[in-house]
């Protein structure tokens, strides 16, 4: 440990926020330092809370005080401690970073996409953190116009995120939004792409926006103090006194606005996780009034797209997995609906992509995505894909009048690929595959779909990948990830960085557990609310399956999850700490009770339909039984790396900070417990591509060290 780090630690540990822990100094883990100092310990300020007769005492509630110097001092002390423990891995971490960077084509360009008379694309330049957004008129041989250079916009700032990138129908104006903190608080700007002028118009707390066909009217949605998008307004370029068109007052609902690909309608959708209500406006009549398609009814989810004189409506009125109906645009009431695609128990209809002469049904079947190419009357076929485990999704399709459908394809072994599919000739053309520099050979790797068995007999999809010549005849190092919330289907994606694990003999696996929609909406329903514990037991059963199948052992199994996946990590290590060697928990949602009892926080009220409303006793008791923070105990825990960001607006930094502070007072083992806080980022971590890659190298160095493979 360097003298500088030691001095830094000594100074921070002396601050009033901390006291010396009453425990032995940490013992060396594989590749980590054995320190002659104790980790930081946050001061204890008991806060008593009573709900439904249940008393909880939170010693670290004060860490919510972001402006309190003691809070920042504690986070910095934890960072310094983590840096000191990880110091022996510095050279290895730097080597990992260079190894990962060497696989990336630093100066590169994405596949151009057409809108109106222009081709749009973004590119990167070696040494620059951010994308440069460009366009060319008519042909890719034309002179380049730089639309937005994020590198220039980010000068002197530690963080930058581009949100909206909305081009007016005539190609003259760009509406774009920027966040400079990581708190996902975006401001909207308007740029004349012909002159380069940025208007004085600036709209703060923007969430979504949509152009009308007059090229000067834009509809936008702003958020409230709890970051809930709730107001729809109309704005004229250069004008003031924007008109409020609709306010969503029900805190369960979030509002969004977009223009259909046909440019026929502006669509404003108000939705909770269980119910939606859609309003539409003729995009050629921007001064008009929005009209409700179908009034909201609890449990009815629907979305609307446009074609000719009809709306195409994806609805769950006849089943949880949705069906497709059409209705006259002049009178889309439910009594006018005509079915085109029926509800199917084994297929989830996630949505549709509508074009002038065809449309694409985006579906999920057997825990795999599928794209079905259909004519306007609903006749067609599903695309075939070459691998047993993959991800296929819609690409950038801005043009309504086209014969070509762009889609993205990748797998654990196939780099991200962009295809153009001609619906008339059925020709599939590879436009670009993510370059992987060096000696990457996809035939060296093998991916599989396995099926674990849940405690109630359900079959859990588990996707695995490994390097063939590194696959041992018996158990070996294995890294398992999961999420299992919000109906999010965990995609099987390629990562050039992940090769640094595979090439060192680590088996990588994903458990597609309940709480996601990998096997349809019922898979989601069976992993939320009062069935949430299925998510945790599914993950445990998946880990046990990998052990039973001789892939690994508890001493060779590391796990990882982020956000709601961090809740998963916290829950499973409370339930089965003996099952895992080490845990990486990123921006983890671990303080379930305090967060869900605080309606002023972003996302809380809207998530009552995912987790339950703890103001109701039955829901409170169930959530209380699995909340990671509230169920920490005096027992041995695996090695842990907890990563968070100070400006996270989705899972506040204090959740992981409190979790670590409390766990330090309980765990009797000598396994490392590390908290790493990015002081300049939000929920997604660092914004610059090089900074982000350094974060990945940091995380991977910890994982590989736990496997004894830090070399």
pLDDT digits (tens, 9 = 90+) for 114-157: 999 999 999 999 999 999 999 999 999 999 999 999 999 999 99
Extract the tokens encoding 307. Answer: 């074609």
pLDDT digits (tens, 9 = 90+) for 574-615: 999 999 999 999 999 999 999 999 999 887 999 999 999 999
Superfamily of domain 447-706: Alpha/Beta hydrolase fold, catalytic domain (3.40.50.1820)
Do residues 160 and 130 touch, judged by C-beta distance below 8 A?
A: yes
Report the chain's mean pLDDT, rounded to a whole number: 94
CA distance 641 to 193: 45
Which residues, at least 6 apart from 681, have a Cβ–Cβ distance to it below 8 Å?
Answer: 158, 159, 182, 645, 646, 647, 648, 687
Do residues 252 and 606 touch, judged by C-beta distance below 8 A?
A: yes
Q: How much is the average pLDDT of 675-687?
A: 87
Q: What are phi and psi of 500, to 5 degrees?
A: -70, -25
Question: How confident is residue 687, by pLDDT bands cut at 50, 70 and 90?
Answer: confident
- pLDDT for 76 equals 97
Q: How much is the average pLDDT of 197-218?
A: 97
Q: How much is the average pLDDT of 49-63?
A: 97
- pLDDT for 35 equals 59
Instruction: Beginning with the edge strand found earlier in the chain, give each strand of the sheet holding 557-562 in spatial order.
Output: 445-453, 459-467, 507-511, 478-482, 557-562, 582-586, 639-645, 673-678
Q: Is the pLDDT of residue 20 over 50?
A: no
Extract the tokens encoding 583. Answer: 């845990």
- Exposure string of 464-490, with b = 16+ CB inside 10 Å and e = fewer, is bbbbeebeeeebbbbbbbbbbbbbbbb
Q: Is the pLDDT of residue 508 over 60?
A: yes
Q: Is the pLDDT of residue 538 over 90?
A: yes
Do residues 61 and 68 touch, judged by C-beta distance below 8 A?
A: no
CA 505 to centroid of chain Cα atoms: 27
Do residues 541 and 461 touch, judged by C-beta distance below 8 A?
A: no
The candidate with the shortest Cα–Cα distance to 463, out of 367, 564, 571, 348, is 367
CA distance 46 to 66: 18
Do residues 140 and 112 touch, judged by C-beta distance below 8 A?
A: yes
- pLDDT for 1 equals 32
**Whats the size of the chain, residue-wise?**
711
Q: How much is the average pLDDT of 703-707?
A: 97
DSSP state of 237: T
CA distance 161 to 487: 26
pLDDT digits (tens, 9 = 90+) for 364-389: 999 999 999 999 999 999 999 999 99
Q: How much is the average pLDDT of 516-531?
A: 98
Instruction: Map 281-297 to HEC letters.
Output: EECCCCCCCCEECCCCC
The candidate with the shortest Cα–Cα distance to 487, out of 459, 522, 461, is 522
Q: Is the pLDDT of residue 30 over 80?
A: no
Question: How confident is residue 29, by pLDDT bands cut at 50, 70 and 90?
Answer: low
- pLDDT for 333 equals 96
Q: Is the pLDDT of residue 13 over 50?
A: no
- pLDDT for 22 equals 31
The candidate with the shortest Cα–Cα distance to 648, out of 690, 687, 702, is 687
Percent of the chain with pLDDT over 90: 92
Q: How much is the average pLDDT of 682-703?
A: 92
- pLDDT for 342 equals 98
pLDDT digits (tens, 9 = 90+) for 67-119: 999 999 999 999 999 999 999 999 999 999 999 999 999 999 999 999 999 99
- pLDDT for 554 equals 98
Torsion angle defined by CA atoms of residues 405, 408, 411 and 417, in that order, rounded to the nearest 10 degrees:
100
532, 535, 540 from 485: Cα distances, Å: 9, 8, 16
Q: Is the pLDDT of residue 263 over 70?
A: yes
The pTM of this model reads: 0.93
Residue extents of the structural domains in the chain:
116-158, 447-706
473: left (phi over 0), alpha (psi -120 to 50) or beta: alpha
442, 448, 514, 522, 590 from 462: Cα distances, Å: 20, 8, 12, 18, 25
pLDDT digits (tens, 9 = 90+) for 296-330: 999 999 999 999 999 999 999 999 999 999 999 99
CA distance 690 to 211: 34
CA distance 694 to 294: 49
CA distance 706 to 444: 25
Q: Is the pLDDT of residue 34 over 90?
A: no
Q: Supply the residues annotated as catalytic.
A: 563, 648, 683
């Amino acid at each position: 440990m360097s003298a500088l780090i030691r001095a830094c630690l000594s100074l921070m540990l002396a601050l009033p926020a901390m006291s010396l822990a009453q425990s032995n100094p940490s013992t060396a883990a594989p590749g980590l330092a054995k320190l002659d100092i104790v980790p930081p310990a946050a001061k204890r300020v008991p806060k008593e809370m009573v709900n439904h007769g249940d008393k909880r005492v939170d010693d670290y509630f004060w860490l919510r005080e972001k402006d309190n110097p003691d809070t920042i001092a504690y986070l910095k002390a934890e960072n310094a401690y983590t840096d000191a423990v990880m110091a022996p891995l510095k050279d290895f971490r730097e080597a990992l970073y260079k190894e990962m960077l060497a696989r990336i084509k630093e100066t590169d360009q994405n596949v151009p996409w057409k809108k109106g008379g222009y081709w749009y694309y973004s590119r990167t330049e070696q040494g620059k953190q951010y994308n440069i957004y460009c366009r060319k008129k008519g042909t890719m041989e034309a002179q380049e116009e730089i639309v937005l250079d994020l590198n220039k916009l980010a000068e002197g700032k530690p963080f930058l995120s581009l949100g909206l990138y909305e081009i007016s129908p005539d190609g003259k104006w760009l509406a774009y939004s920027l966040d400079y903190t990581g708190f996902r608080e975006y401001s909207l700007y308007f740029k004349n792409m012909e002159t380069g002028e940025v208007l004085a118009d600036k709209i703060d707390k923007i969430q979504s926006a949509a152009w009308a066909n007059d090229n000067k009217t834009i509809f936008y949605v702003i958020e409230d103090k709890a970051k809930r998008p709730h107001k729809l307004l109309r704005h004229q370029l250069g004008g003031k006194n924007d008109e409020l068109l609709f306010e969503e007052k029900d805190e369960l609902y979030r509002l969004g606005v977009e223009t259909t690909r046909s440019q026929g309608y502006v669509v404003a959708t108000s939705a909770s996780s269980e119910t939606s209500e859609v309003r539409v406006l003729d995009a050629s009549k921007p001064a008009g009034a929005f009209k409700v398609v179908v009034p909201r009814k609890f449990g009815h989810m629907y979305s609307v797209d446009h074609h000719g004189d009809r709306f195409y409506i994806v609805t769950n009125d006849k089943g949880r997995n949705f069906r497709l109906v059409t209705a006259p645009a002049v009178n889309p009431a439910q009594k006018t609906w005509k079915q085109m695609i029926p509800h199917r128990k084994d297929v989830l209809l996630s949505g549709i992509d509508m074009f002038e002469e065809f449309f694409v049904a985006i579906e999920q079947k057997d825990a795999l995505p599928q794209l079905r190419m259909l004519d306007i009357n609903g006749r067609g076929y599903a695309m075939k894909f070459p691998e047993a485990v993959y991800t296929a999704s819609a690409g950038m399709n801005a043009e309504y009048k086209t014969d070509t459908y762009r889609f993205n394809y990748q797998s654990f072994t196939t780099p991200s690929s962009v295809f153009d599919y001609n619906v008339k000739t059925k020709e599939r053309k590879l436009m670009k595959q993510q370059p992987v520099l060096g000696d990457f050979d996809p035939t060296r790797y093998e991916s599989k779909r396995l099926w674990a068995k849940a405690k109630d007999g359900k079959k859990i999809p588990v996707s695995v990948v490994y390097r063939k010549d590194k696959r041992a005849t018996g158990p070996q190092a294995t890294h398992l990830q999961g999420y299992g919330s919000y109906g999010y289907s965990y995609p099987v994606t390629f990562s050039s960085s992940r090769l640094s694990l595979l090439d060192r003999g680590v088996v990588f696996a994903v458990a597609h557990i309940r709480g996601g929609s990998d096997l349809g909406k019922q898979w989601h329903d069976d992993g939320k609310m009062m069935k949430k514990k299925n998510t945790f037991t599914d993950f445990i059963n998946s880990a046990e399956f990998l052990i039973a199948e001789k892939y690994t052992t508890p001493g060779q199994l590391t796990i990882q999850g982020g956000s709601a996946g961090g809740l998963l990590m916290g829950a499973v290590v409370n339930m089965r700490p003996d099952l895992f060697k080490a845990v990486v928990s990123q921006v983890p949602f671990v303080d379930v009770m305090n967060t869900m009892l605080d309606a002023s926080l972003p996302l809380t009220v809207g998530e009552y339909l995912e987790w339950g409303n703890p103001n109701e006793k039955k829901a409170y008791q169930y959530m209380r039984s699995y909340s990671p923070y509230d169920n920490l105990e005096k027992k041995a825990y695996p090695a842990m790396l907890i990563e968070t960001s100070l400006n996270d607006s989705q899972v506040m930094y204090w959740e992981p900070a409190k979790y670590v502070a409390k766990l330090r007072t309980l765990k009797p083992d000598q396994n490392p417990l590390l908290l790493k806080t990015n002081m300049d980022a939000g929920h997604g971590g660092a914004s610059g591509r090089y900074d982000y890659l350094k974060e990945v190298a940091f995380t991977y160095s910890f994982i590989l060290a736990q496997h004894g493979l830090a070399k």
